[in-house]
Structure 1
């Protein structure tokens, strides 16, 4: 994005967040996110719908022999008949579904919401169609603005089977009408279809803008909720790093602890961005990607579905929210790419029904820590030539308690581990536990990424120590720059392809099995990459030590002089140390 687009999105973020944050006085973050994100969702689907309507209206009136949508004016007796025909044609559902646009019933359109929200309670909104045996339809009256929003969400669910039971209702939060009207007006006072900044038109589509706002809000709610908020939000830079390293261009993508679906969104964005670079068709490439996810938290499961819907990503998240270990929603899935950020060191996960489970191929995981349960669950769902990435606490790289060391040894000996990345601290909103990324694959012999072939990597392992990368985004959180992400991903790809890779002291090292055996199968990158090379200033060590010792002696002498001076000055004021 250029500076104008970045500035537009920043100002939009600030404006909408300030409006939504006014609800904080009445609701905590865990609840008012449903109100804000529900309205964002309604605004997006309505904007996308109206954008499609405008396209259709142009097509209906474009006199072109190849235009199958064209409605000739001469086929109608009057202008009024022609306009009526256009209005009726705009309400044909198939025109929207063919363009992957959600059908938005009249009662759920943003224009309806904005118009009806300001009416006095009890006002007649519309009349329903007459039911069987009745001549007149029932009058629908306004109960509250919350009810109006809930009715809009319900109408969208009725019209779009994929969203049935997904959208959270807000009436039970008992919000004042005035606060909701203020939020609706703020959301309305922005052009999502034709954005501009200081009079300059921007090359941003409504999907781009609303998707960005949705992601921004998720991050802000995660910060507001603290530890609990981390359930549904993985920092964007970490998600981007994993996707850039795995390169999921085609196939089945699976996340068994999907949160709000960040890995799927980033995969979608990855295809779009690299399509521009490589000059291939992103829309065609996306047809070769299918996403599967699972999430136990019902609220987060719904957030993920809304997140996919906002971006037009087709998805399969199972029939319900469910525990990935106890109620696998995709038992037969073998995915080409698996990516996950499950809860670190999860203690309360075991059930006796899991004893002897087929997924524990490399050893039964500890009952008090799910780290290696997640890893083996993901491996179980990985296709024979698939690759996966898993965020885990650093302890997973070295722990030998409760069978963890034995499982790690078997993973290494069976040549499943491909790359280990140590991450810097303070990356996560919900934990200060240091983390790492495991990259595993079932086939190191080759593999294709578009037209590029990977080399035979059997018996080789890459270690990357990224602990010194990144910058402090604020006083609490660290983040990666685009350059940091590119540095790590490019190193991994160069090693995979055998083109331009070199070991860099303190950063990356390619090792073989015997070296890992010497370290008792501990996979901490710092043990292998060594210390960064120090620049040689040309001064012999003996001379440097003599010089530095002399400097230190002089500083000690100066310290003593200052101490005497301070005591003398204090004595002159009548104080003694």
Structure 2
């Protein structure tokens, strides 16, 4: 049987992995993704350069305006891939790459703050391994297949692999694509402003644009705003969006959303977010007490930022805005200020759906997490899709609970991911519940979903824990425990006998060789 050939992503990953050992994965992801960006930018630049030659515009070949007008980055001579490859075996190649990236950023204002800064020179990279990686990337034509989005595929693959490699407590720059897809399919960001207050590497924005493309919407009708605190992750996001030609306002600098909100007056139609879970010490006890984002609610506790993130998003929603975001399960039932805020959110009829996500879905944590959907206008919602009007007449004073803990399929033997079929079923169930065009096919299903009325929420002290509302079948009540224990006893006896036989055989083998155990 012929061995299956490796994908471009796998070949690149194998080559990049050779850099490990002397360089931490948290560092070398910027090396690898920087090089992929450089090659992709060069391929687009050369394609445009060829167009200008064919149009007889030779005198404009070195004028950046004739590249920028087509959303293509202008590359000075020392930033072109051919120059990098010509010098790839030289000892100073790290410096040349740093210079190339710096020069591209300087000549293209849209890339300000986006590219790795002096990474190659300071990491003491093996020249032979770096050269081998350059050769591998050199063999990839990043724009050959317009439909396949090769560089986008590579970027997505690498971000996921790096998040897995960095493991728990790290890799917070990445939200699994299937979770982002689930949020997009539920809140349907067709038109308007999209905001992510903790945007990581920009995955929410990328999948939002893909959602629009898949549903034949118009990308020009979407505006993107975000913010990211970590400087290296901020660069990842800007690169990730730049290679896909996605314009976004991520703030002038990487900055803490609470300490320095760079979009204070923003009103978003859609919010998609995966903020840090259970973030401690996000503010000093006497800071941000009078912040306008909490107006009408209690001040979120300084010990945990979960409800600060929620209120930040509530403050950013337009009058018909919808938010979908991930939080740790603890936010569903906390006491103190969290209880007061949660109660007020429910009384204000902002909470629309609570969805428990399968465990081990995230690469950075194994705690249970929840998808929240907030809706500023649960009375009605409509928007144009493919020339027609899509309408939802939502349920007021009700919350839909869904439990997906048993859903999903295995990924790389240690993670769970929701399949495209899972996502479609969950989104359809949610939209059925919303009473599409005044009609509904929704019904409560034990161990899956339940629509809770305000009175039930009040009775449960405004807890948002789904198991308090979804019916669960007591399968233990029908079990004959005596019969079951006898079955287990019988199986255990067989296992013990097999182990005894193995021990006897091992002792006998040693005796044959003249040794006693």
Shared fold (TM-score greater than 0.5)?
Answer: yes
Please say which structure displays the higher CA radius of gyration: 1
Which residue of structure 2 lines up, in the alignment, with residue 147 of structure 1? 95
After superposition, the C-alpha distances for 1:257-285 in whole angstroms (9 at most, x for unaligned) are 1111110011011111111xxxxxx5xx1
CA distance in 1, matches of 2:135, 2:290: 57
Q: Secondary structure at the match of 1:13?
A: helix
CA distance in 1, matches of 2:137, 2:374: 44
Give the TM-score of the pair, scaled to structure 2. 0.88
CA distance in 2, matches of 1:47, 1:267: 26
Which residue of structure 2 lines up, in the alignment, with residue 503 of structure 1? 444
Q: Does 1:219 align with 2:157?
A: no
After superposition, the C-alpha distances for 1:448-481 in whole angstroms (9 at most, x for unaligned) are 2322011042212111111111012133211111
After superposition, the C-alpha distances for 1:154-188 in whole angstroms (9 at most, x for unaligned) are 11112111212331122111223322221111101
Alpha-carbon RMSD across the aligned residues, in angstroms, is: 2.8
Shift of the alpha carbon at 1:389?
1.2
Q: Which stretch has the larger CA shift, 103-112 or 346-355?
A: 103-112
Give the one of 131, 141, 148 matched to 1:191: 141
Shift of the alpha carbon at 1:22?
0.8
Which residue of structure 2 lines up, in the alignment, with residue 465 of structure 1? 403
Give the one of 435, 438, 442 matched to 2:372: 438
Task: After TM superposition, list the pairs within 5 Å mapping 1:279-428 onto structure 2.
Answer: 282=217, 285-351=218-284, 352-360=286-294, 361-400=296-335, 402-428=336-362
Which residue of structure 2 lines up, in the alignment, with residue 96 of structure 1? 67
Q: Does 1:156 align with 2:99?
A: no
Give the one of 99, 122, 135 matched to 1:172: 122
After superposition, the C-alpha distances for 1:504-550 in whole angstroms (9 at most, x for unaligned) are 2221122211111111111122222212698xxxxxx9xx88xx589
Shift of the alpha carbon at 1:34?
1.4
| Mapped contact 2:113–2:253 kept (Cα < 8 A) | no
CA distance in 2, matches of 1:292, 1:189: 35
Q: 1:409 to 1:154 in 2, by over 3 A?
A: same
After superposition, the C-alpha distances for 1:81-133 in whole angstroms (9 at most, x for unaligned) are xxxxx543444433322322222223212122112334x56xxxxxxxxxxxx
Q: Does 1:22 align with 2:2?
A: no
CA distance in 2, matches of 1:88, 1:19: 40
Task: After TM superposition, list the pairs within 5 Å mapping 1:546-557 onto structure 2.
Answer: 555=487
Which residue of structure 2 lines up, in the alignment, with residue 115 of structure 1? 86
Shift of the alpha carbon at 1:569?
9.5
| Mapped contact 1:221–1:229 kept (Cα < 8 A) | no
| Mapped contact 1:258–1:295 kept (Cα < 8 A) | yes
CA distance in 2, matches of 1:13, 1:251: 34
| Mapped contact 1:223–1:229 kept (Cα < 8 A) | no
Q: 1:27 to 1:510 in 2, by over 3 A?
A: same
CA distance in 2, matches of 1:391, 1:456: 22
CA distance in 2, matches of 1:153, 1:559: 65
Q: Does 1:255 align with 2:225?
A: no
Q: 1:108 to 1:458 in 2, by over 3 A?
A: same
CA distance in 2, matches of 1:559, 1:98: 73
Q: Secondary structure at the match of 1:467?
A: coil
Give the one of 457, 475, 492 matched to 2:413: 475
Q: Which stretch has the larger CA shift, 341-350 or 504-513?
A: 504-513
Q: Secondary structure at the match of 1:315?
A: coil
| Mapped contact 2:350–2:376 kept (Cα < 8 A) | yes
Task: After TM superposition, list the pairs within 5 Å mapping 1:49-128 onto structure 2.
Answer: 49-58=45-54, 60=55, 71=56, 86-118=57-89, 120=90
CA distance in 2, matches of 1:557, 1:90: 82
Q: 1:524 to 1:55 in 2, by over 3 A?
A: farther
CA distance in 1, matches of 2:115, 2:489: 73
CA distance in 1, matches of 2:310, 2:212: 26
CA distance in 2, matches of 1:564, 1:333: 67
| Mapped contact 2:322–2:373 kept (Cα < 8 A) | yes
Shift of the alpha carbon at 1:246?
1.0
Structure 1: 5+ residue stretches without partners: 1-6, 61-70, 72-85, 122-143, 196-202, 276-281, 535-540
Give the TM-score of the pair, scaled to structure 1. 0.79
Aligned length, in residue pairs: 490
Q: 1:47 to 1:517 in 2, by over 3 A?
A: same
Q: Secondary structure at the match of 1:186?
A: helix
